[in-house]
Chains A and B, each alone.
Chain A
């Protein structure tokens, strides 16, 4: 591997700190880790079976993102359109994990200038207002709470889903826009965990661009 470092000019502050850039950085980190893992695996395969040329051919399709696919283990993601459902699930989990790491970091930045939050309700309100403002330049539309310690955040015009065509409720799962929504779930979960509330977050997209995220806090 060639070891080169390139010095790039400093980007302007608004660009450097935008959530999109942070997400791209997380993507770089994730794919680079997956690529290194895959390289190690290939090296092992090559040393195990030196007489098998098939292993080398498989190694040339490296961790190039395939539509929504991240470098997924050794599953055969050879053609772009034939992602099996196991691959898709793996991708969603990967996206959620990236969102998780992002959530903690974003929250640390946003709370730097204000006093600390200690109440569960304050933390969830902070997510609806400040975190949403940072990500989407607007606040979440509705926050509901149900008695059993859960919250539902609703957003009627989620920016990331703005350009999707309307789809009926009965659309099959692989046509639903789960990728951006997984990232947001991860971000919310990371933010909550970083502030001290471990919770589970799930999302449902009834009809884009309207979607809701439900937070369950085990007590």
Chain B
């Protein structure tokens, strides 16, 4: 039985920039694609919460059955969202901060335009490492 963690980065205009399944090893028992539905529905909640706080880390943004969605919004309104089953605020906050750092490094690449999907395998590898470090 795997602990489910699904991570997405959504840009301005609700464009998907990056998606990763950071669940621990094992079989997942949720229906396929349900995680994408939940994260998509949570986008509106993130946009609403953004105006209530000055912080980047918006703790718990949405809840669906037994799934929680946590959000983190950068200054340029890029949303980092994580779908999870267990609440783990500190670790999730650290994970978001580390991915934010990685995202800024992606931005430093002059061939990467803002709001485009991130295809870099180095970025992918590092996000998965961060996921292992903080989430499982």
Contacts and interface: CB of A to CB of B under 8 A. Distances in A.
B47 interface: no
Contacts of B107: 104-105, 108-109
Contacts, number: 58
A111 B111 contact: no
A107 interface: yes
B20 interface: no
A194 B114 contact: yes
B110 A108 contact: no
Interface of B: 50-51, 54-56, 73-78, 100-101, 103-104, 107-108, 110-111, 113-114
Contacts of B100: 112
A112 B108 CA distance: 14
Interface in A128-160: none
B104 to A, nearest CB: 5
Interface residues on A, range: 20 to 34
A28 B54 contact: no
23 contacts: A17-B108, A28-B110, A101-B110, A104-B107, A105-B114, A108-B74, A108-B75, A108-B107, A108-B114, A109-B108, A111-B76, A112-B75, A112-B100, A115-B54, A116-B50, A116-B54, A116-B55, A116-B74, A118-B51, A118-B54, A194-B75, A194-B114, A195-B76
